[in-house]
A and B are shown apart, each in its own frame.
Chain A
Amino acid sequence: MIKYTLQRILYMFLVFMIITFMSFILIRMLPLPMLPPEDPHNIQVLRRREALGYNEPYLVQFWLFLKNIVTKWDWGLSETRLAYGQDVWQIFVGKLPATMIVNLYSIIWSIPVGVALGVIAALKKNTWVDYFLSTATMVVISVPSFVYAFLVQYIFCFKLHWFPFLMKGGTDYFSWDMFVSVIPPVLSLSFGVIAGFCRTTRAELTEVLTSEFMLLARTKGLTKAQATVRHALRNCFVVIVPGIFGEFIGILGGSLIIEGIFAVPGVGRLTLDAITALDYNIFMLSTCFYTAIGLAASLVVDISYGFIDPRIRMGSKK
C-alpha cells in the first residue's frame, strides 16, 4: 500500500511538472506587457527580467524559474497595474483565506445535508419523496451556478434584505458581520455540493440495499434500521468518503463565477483579474495552483479508496 501510494504521488508530481512546463513555455512565448511609463519599479522589473533570463532559450528560463522557486520560493513580481512590483506569492497568499472560508462553510453544512438527503431518497425509493429529491437534484445539477447565484442575490439580498449584497471587505474572517456577509456565496456554492452528494449517495445506497448480503443480514434477524446502518451505509461510504476528501482539497480552489458575483476577494477573482490584465506571473502561479489542486484531489480520492476498501487495494496496479 505504501509503495502504491508513493508511486501515485511520484506519478502525479511528474504530470504536474509536465503541465507546468507546457504552460510556462506557452506563457513565456506571449509578448511581454508594456511597462507603465515612469514608474519607479520599472528598473527593478527590468533587472529581474534580465536575471530570469528573458533573453535566453526557454529551457534555461524554465530552469531559472524552478531554481528560484525551490531555493527562494520566489514566484516573480506582478508586472501590471494589478499590483505593480509586488511579490506574486504574497498577493496570492493574501487572497487564500477569503476563498477558503467561503468554501469551508459551504462544505461543512452541505456534505451532511447532501448525504442525509441521499439516504432518505434511497430508503424511500419509488415514493414521492424519492421522486421529488431526484428531480430537484437533477435540476440543481443541470442549471449553471450563476443562475442560482443570481436568484440568491436577488431574493435574499435585494428583496428580503437579509444579507449584504457583496461580501464584506477586510481580514476579520471570523467576525459576525463577516459570517453574515458570506452566507449568500456559501448558499450559492452549496446547492451543487448538496445535489452531487445526494445523487451519489442515493445511487450507491439503492444498489447496496438490493444486494444479497442485505438479504442475509435481514435473514439473520437484524431489523431494517440495523441492517441499513451497519451494513448498507458502511458499504456506500466506500464511495462517499473519497468524494468528501476530494471536496476538502477543492476548498482551496473556489469558484471563479461565485467569487465574481459576490465580490469575494479570493484566488478565483485574482486569477480572473490576472487574465484580464494579462499579468503573466500571477497567471502562472494560478495555473500551477489549480493544476496542483486538481491533481491532489484525484490523488487523495484514489488513495483513500485503497485505504477504505481493501478489495480495491488488492486490485490496484502493482
Chain B
Amino acid sequence: MTDNNDVTYEKIPAEKFAFVQENERLHDKELQTKARSFFADAMLRFRKNKSSVIASYILIFLILYAIFAPMISQYDIKDTDPRYVNYPPFSPAFANAGFLNGARKMDSQNDKAMDIWNGLGVETGMNPVIRTLDTHTTQVKQRGKLVTRTTYDIEVNMYYALGIIYYNFNYEQYEALQKWQNESGIQVIYPYVDAEKTNNSDNPNIWFELDRSGNAKKDKNGDFIPAYSTDAANAGAPYNSIRVKGDDGSLVYSKAKSGSVQCRICYYNYYIYLNGHEPSYLMGTNVMGMDLFCAIGVGARFSLIFAIIVSAINMTIGAIYGSIQGYYGGAIDMTLDRITDVLSGVPFVVVTTLFQLHLSRRVGVVPSFLFAFVLTGWIGMAALTRKQFYRFKSQEFVMAARTLGASDRRLMFKHIFPNAIGTIITSCALIIPGVINSETSMTYLGIVNLSSFAGTTIGTLLSQGNAAATTAPHAMLWPSVFLGLLMICFNLFGNGLRDAFNPTTRGVDD
C-alpha cells in the first residue's frame, strides 16, 4: 500500500480507458468455471508456495530414508565392531577416490611412523597413506650434532591403517580360518615376527628389521628387510595355507599360547572373513561402532513414530478440552483455564524426570516418556480450539441448529468443530517438529534413555558424537544434518500448509 504513494495518477491518456460493458448486462451470468472444493483450493495455494513444496519433497525423502536406510544397510543396529570405533566414512568402491575413503588427517608423523605406514602397504598390499599434505623440516641438536628431522602431515585411510593386530585363536578357529583362506584366496594370517630383529617392539605392524635406534633397516634397493620368525619350535599349530611372497615354507605363522595360538592377522581381511563383506560405512561409525547410516535411520524412525503418536493424542485431548472450554464458556471455562495454568507452569524437564523416576519401572521408559509429553502437550491445541469455538459459537447456523433442538454434543462436534478442523489439522504439522525437538533434547541430555527400546535415537547419537567431536566430527555432523533438515522442512511444510488453509493469517508469524 505504501509503495503506491509515489505513483501519480494524473494525465493518463484517454485511450487507455475502455468500457467494461457497453451493450451487455453484467449480472445474471452463469458461472462458467467449475466449483473448487475447499481442499483443492488450499492445495492450489500450497503449490504456489515454492519453498514449502521443496520442503515437502525433502521431507518425503527424509521419511523414506528413515524407513529404508536400515533395510538397505548391510548392518543392523546391533552390529557393532569393537575396532572400527569413530571411524570416518568409507566404502571399498571409493577407496581410491577423493571421498568416502576413510581419510583422517594425521599431523607430525616422523620417519619411524612413516616407515610403519609404508611397511603396512608393502606387507598387506593396502597402503594406508592417501597423500602427504605437508612436510616440515627442523634442525635438532642431538649429541652435539645438528640433525635434520622431517615430519609429515598425511592423510591416512583409517580402515587400512588399523593394519595388523595380534589375535588369539583356539585350534579349531585357526583351522577354519586357514580353510577359508584357501577357498577365498584372501590372506588374513601373516607370518609371526622375530622379536629380536625388531628391537622387541610390541607393535604388530612392524614386520621389518629395525636398528638399535628404532629406524627401519633398508636393503640396497631401499626395501624393507623382513623380520619374520623361523623359530619352528615355538610355532603354535601347523600352517597349510597362503604364504607370503618369498616364503620357502620355513616361516612360522603363529605362536603357541596355552591352549591357543597367537597370530598376526590383517584386521581388514579378518573382517571380511567374519562378515562376508568388506567394511562399508557410508557415514562412518560412532563411538559404539554402529553404522551411522543405519543408526540415523533407526533413530529417525523412532522419533517420527513417537512424534506422530504424541501429536495425535495431544490433538484429541486438546480438541475435546478446548471444545468444552469454548462451547460452555463462563465458569467452566475459568475453572479449566486454571488447570491449564498450573500444568503449563511446570517445567518440561521436571515433568519428564518425575515421570521417568516414578513410572519407568512400572510401565516402561517409552510410555512414561509419552505421558510426560501428553501431560502438558495438549495445552496449545486446547487454546487453539477454544479460540475457534468462541469464533463460531455465536454464529447464525449454530443458533439455527439449536432452535431445531440439537443437543450440546451435536452442536459441538457436528456443527462447530468441523469449521475449526482446518486450523487444527494444520497446526498439527507444526506440533510434530516441536515434539521431535523436545524428544531429541531429552535423550541428548540423557534424562531419558531409549537405547534399549529403540536401538538408538537421534539425541543419543548426537550426545555420543559430541563426546568425540574433535577426532570424529562426522559422528556429530550426520545426525545434526539429518535433524536440522528434518526440523527446517517440517516447519516450512507446516507454515505452507497453514497459509494455504487459512489465507487470512498469512505472514503473521512466519
A residues with a Cβ closer than 8 A to B are 15-16, 18-19, 22-23, 26-27, 29-30, 134-135, 138-139, 141-144, 146-147, 150-151, 153-154, 158, 199-200, 203, 206-207, 209-210, 214-215, 218, 224, 256-257, 260-261, 271-272, 275-276, 278, 283, 286-287, 290-291, 294-295
Contacts and interface: CB of A to CB of B under 8 A. Distances in A.
Interface in B437-491: 437, 440-441, 444-447, 462, 465-466, 469-470, 473, 476, 480, 483-484, 487-488, 490-491
Contacts of B350: 23, 286-287, 290-291
A117 B139 CA distance: 54
Nearest to B356: A275
Contacts of A271: 349
Contacts of A261: 466
A203 B437 contact: no
B445 A144 contact: no
15 contacts: A15-B345, A147-B480, A150-B465, A150-B466, A150-B469, A153-B469, A154-B469, A154-B470, A200-B509, A215-B2, A256-B349, A278-B357, A286-B350, A287-B350, A290-B350
A219 to B, nearest CB: 9
A39 B508 CA distance: 61
Given A210-B2, A256-B445, A276-B446, A141 B491 contact: yes
Contacts of A158: 469-470
Q: Which 8 A-B pairs have the closest CB atoms?
A: A142-B487, A290-B347, A143-B484, A142-B488, A147-B480, A142-B491, A287-B350, A26-B354
Given A138-B488, A142-B487, A295-B345, A29 B508 contact: no
A275 B353 contact: yes
A278 B447 CA distance: 11
B14 interface: no
B275 to A, nearest CB: 31
Main secondary structure of the interface of B (DSSP, over half): helix
A210 B1 CA distance: 7
Given A144-B437, A260-B445, A19 B469 contact: no
Q: Choose among A29, A143, A203 the residue with the greatest number of B CB atoms under 10 Å from its CB.
A: A143
A218 B5 contact: yes
Nearest to B508: A203
A27 B357 CA distance: 9
Interface in B360-381: none
B433 A142 contact: yes
A206 B358 CA distance: 49
B347 A291 contact: yes
B41 interface: no
Q: Choose among A26, A144, A256 the residue with the greatest number of B CB atoms under 10 Å from its CB.
A: A144
Contacts of B462: 146-147, 150
Given A150-B476, A287-B347, A291-B346, A215 B1 contact: yes
Nearest to B354: A26
Interface string B339-353: 001100111011001
